[in-house]
Amino acid sequence: MFAARQVFAQSQRRCFSASVRQASKVTVLGAAGGIGQPLSLLLKLNPRVTELSLYDVRLAPGVAADIGHINTKSKVTGHEPTASGLKEALTGAEIVLIPAGVPRKPGMTRDDLFNTNASIVRTLATACAEHAPEANLLIISNPVNSTVPICAEVFKAKGVYNPKRLFGVTTLDVVRASRFISEIKGTDPANENITVIGGHSGATIVPLLSQSGYSLTGEKLDNYVYRVQFGGDEVVKAKDGAGSATLSMAMAGARFAESLLKASQGQKGVIEPTFVDSPLYKDRGVDFFATNVELGPNGVEKIHPVGKITDHEQKLLDVCVEDLAKNISKGVEWIKANPEK
Ligand SMILES: NC(=O)C1=CN([C@@H]2O[C@H](COP(=O)(O)OP(=O)(O)OC[C@H]3O[C@@H](n4cnc5c(N)ncnc54)[C@H](O)[C@@H]3O)[C@@H](O)[C@H]2O)C=CC1
Ligand SMILES: O=C([O-])CC(=O)C(=O)O
């Protein structure tokens, strides 16, 4: 009996160590930018990260040297666009975050960034498919609604696409939705977790206040929804030509990476909203959709359905799905016409 129990305990330990990672290399592509620097700083402060690899077309070794002096255990390396720079930055990564690309200026939509950022993301996704095909890929570069489908096509073309490992980072929408309702209701934002579904721009961002038991109506509801959908524009306007959200985005990206690390290190019930390859609206031409997603050692563990919503939320959702279908097919068509050479 005792021997049998010992064998069982040993096999349990083996199972645990097979699925739970002890070393976690995290790579940031675009690490010297407005988001990249504070994001890298927050990752350096995270004890779950054992190696932090920073790549940018400029300044990454400098950022790495600076962050590397912080007295936490993780090793920090900086990589430049040399012949082997991207390969070294990516090899062995468990998580790759991509905030590389240009940000908006006042008067621009996220879609106005498409022409520049699509090719940056294509190049970086190609390198990820070659050097870190099994990593979790977290796309921050806008327009997320189109850059995520571009990455999926790059991975498919290389024969390494795993839909469970590709994530558009929409965490900032949830962070804002939670903060803004706490301002209205006088609650602690740390206790708010408003579900936000859809995509990551304007009308594709759909907050589901009703699922948290709130029932704003009329102008109050319209103002709230508008603020969540166009929170990014608020920051773009306030920065007055110097870019878009960087610090709140760094926090949101670090939170999402932390959740993935927790899940890969064995924690159960880790749920984050994220824009993933999703079955929910494929029949309406939408292959990617953000809802709450349970994370696990293999990336996406379970995609939650939208759940019960009000008629008003359903109207917002219908507009969202129509816009998203266009954003997604724009990315797919572009990458098919412009594959990486
Ligand atoms: N998903 C989201 O919720 C959010 C997304 N964003 C998006 O994140 C992106 C980055 O924004 P910021 O950091 O403010 O811009 P930034 O201009 O401050 O930084 C971008 C960095 O990317 C680097 N870069 C450019 N091309 C590269 C390449 N081929 N390889 C590696 N690095 C490259 C640049 O050198 C720069 O350091 C923008 O597209 C922005 O719209 C911004 C806020 C929120
Ligand atoms: O608004 C932008 O361009 C940047 C962004 O995605 C956000 O802040 O949500």
Q: How far is the CA of 96 from the centre of ligand 1 (A)?
A: 14
Ligand 2 neighbours, Cβ below 6 Å, are: 103-104, 110, 142, 172, 232, 235-236, 244-245
Cα 41–chain centre separation: 17
* Full domain range(s) for residue 199: 171-332
Give tens-digit pLDDT for 233-280.
999 999 999 999 999 999 999 999 999 999 999 999 999 999 999 999
- Within a domain: residue 340? no
- Report the complex ipTM: 0.99
- For residue 127, name the pLDDT band (cuts at 50, 70, 90): very high
Q: How far is the CA of 168 from the centre of ligand 1 (A)?
A: 14
**Do 138 and 229 lie in a common domain?**
no
Helix or strand run (H / E) with residue 295: strand 288-296
Choose the final residue of a domain: 124, 153, 169.
169
Q: Which atom of ligand 2 is nearest to the CA of 104?
A: 3
- For residue 82, name the pLDDT band (cuts at 50, 70, 90): very high
Q: Whose CA is nearest to atom 20 of ligand 1?
A: 33
What is the rounded distance in angstroms from the CA atom of residue 180 to the CA atom of residue 189? 8
pLDDT reading at 153 higher than 70: yes
Any bridge partners for residue 138, and if so which?
Answer: 97, 167
pLDDT given at position 236: 98
Choose the final residue of a domain: 138, 169, 200.
169
Ligand 1 pocket test target in 86, 244, 246, 256 with most atoms within 8 Å of CB: 244
- For residue 7, name the pLDDT band (cuts at 50, 70, 90): very low
**Do 179 and 197 lie in a common domain?**
yes
Torsion, CA 103, CA 107, CA 111, CA 114, rounded to 10: -50
**Do 165 and 184 lie in a common domain?**
no
**Do 123 and 207 lie in a common domain?**
no
Torsion, CA 234, CA 220, CA 213, CA 273, rounded to 10: -20
Q: Is 162 in the pocket of ligand 1 (CB under 6 A)?
A: no
**Do 317 and 201 lie in a common domain?**
yes
pLDDT given at position 15: 37
From the number of C-beta atoms within 10 Å of its C-beta (0-12, 13-18, 19+), residue 35 rates as: buried
Q: How far is CA 257 from CA 80, 101, 238, 290, in A?
A: 23, 19, 28, 16
Note the ligand closest to the C-alpha atom of 146: 1
**Do 18 and 136 lie in a common domain?**
yes
Mean pLDDT of 311-327: 98
What is the rounded distance in angstroms from the CA atom of residue 331 to the CA atom of residue 341? 17
pLDDT reading at 62 higher than 60: yes
Note the ligand closest to the C-alpha atom of 141: 1
Our answer to whether residue 200 is catalytic in this structure is yes
**Do 78 and 47 lie in a common domain?**
yes
Q: How far is the CA of 33 from the centre of ligand 1 (A)?
A: 6
Q: How many structural domains compose the chain? A: 2
**Do 257 and 160 lie in a common domain?**
no
Annotated binding site for substrate: 104, 110, 142, 176
State yes or no: cis peptide before 149, omega within 30 of 0. no
- For residue 137, name the pLDDT band (cuts at 50, 70, 90): very high
Mean pLDDT of 57-77: 98
Give tens-digit pLDDT for 284-312.
999 999 999 999 999 999 999 999 999 99
Note the ligand closest to the C-alpha atom of 126: 1
Given a contact cutoff of 8 angstroms between Cβ atoms, the answer to whether 232 and 249 are in contact is no
pLDDT given at position 21: 58
Read off the CATH number of the domain in which 243 is found: 3.90.110.10
What is the rounded distance in angstroms from the CA atom of residue 289 to the CA atom of residue 280? 7
Q: Which of 69, 200, 304, 312 is catalytic?
A: 200
Q: Whose CA is nearest to atom 40 of ligand 1?
A: 103
The model's pTM is 0.94
